[in-house]
Amino acid sequence: MITVVAALIQQNGLLLICQRRRTDAFPLRWEFPGGKVKHGESAAAALVRELAEELGVTAVIGHELYRTRHRYAEYADELELIFFTAAIPAPHDTGSIRNLAFERIEWVEPTALEQYDFLLADRELISLLTSGALRVP
């Protein structure tokens, strides 16, 4: 099993979403920033590393908000996805986020998430966020 972590970063009621590059696996699909946990790395440490690599920020990882498993037909290993809240504290606040790894990044209202073509593994979470059944504190 491969563990993947992702951050739900909120600013003024909007969530940060990222579009995969057209040359990546699952091109142009939307996701929350994050990535694979390396061997010997904690989930929180992996997310701090990934957010630095993808967005050029030092994040403070909050609590786990959601966890799921998914198996893509294209891959042999099942994924365990862990979604955390995350904050970008001063002096590197959300205004200092840079797109270092994506086609595009956008700030969107949770109710609008279903309008985006998210990765299949994220769709249950998207449904919960869109309906208001799960909220990012």
Nearest to 2 by CA among 77, 97, 85: 77
pLDDT tens sequence across 34-84: 999 999 999 999 999 999 999 999 999 999 999 999 999 888 899 999 999
- Beta-sheet strands, E only, within 12-124: 14-19, 30-31, 34-36, 60-70, 79-87, 104-108
Q: Are 6 and 46 in contact (CB under 8 A)?
A: no
pTM here is 0.92
pLDDT at residue number 137: 86
Q: State the average pLDDT over residues 19-44.
A: 96
Q: Are 137 and 15 in contact (CB under 8 A)?
A: no
pLDDT tens sequence across 83-132: 999 998 865 556 689 999 999 999 999 999 999 999 999 999 999 999 99
Q: Work out the widest C-alpha separation in the chain, in whole angstroms.
A: 42
Contacts of 131 (CB under 8 A, 6+ apart): none
Counted residue by residue, the chain has a size of: 137
Domain made up of 2-131: CATH architecture: Alpha-Beta Complex (3.90)
pLDDT at residue number 4: 97
pLDDT at residue number 93: 59
pLDDT at residue number 91: 59
pLDDT at residue number 89: 82
Instruction: Kindly list the domain boundaries of the chain, sorted by start residue.
Output: 2-131
pLDDT at residue number 5: 98
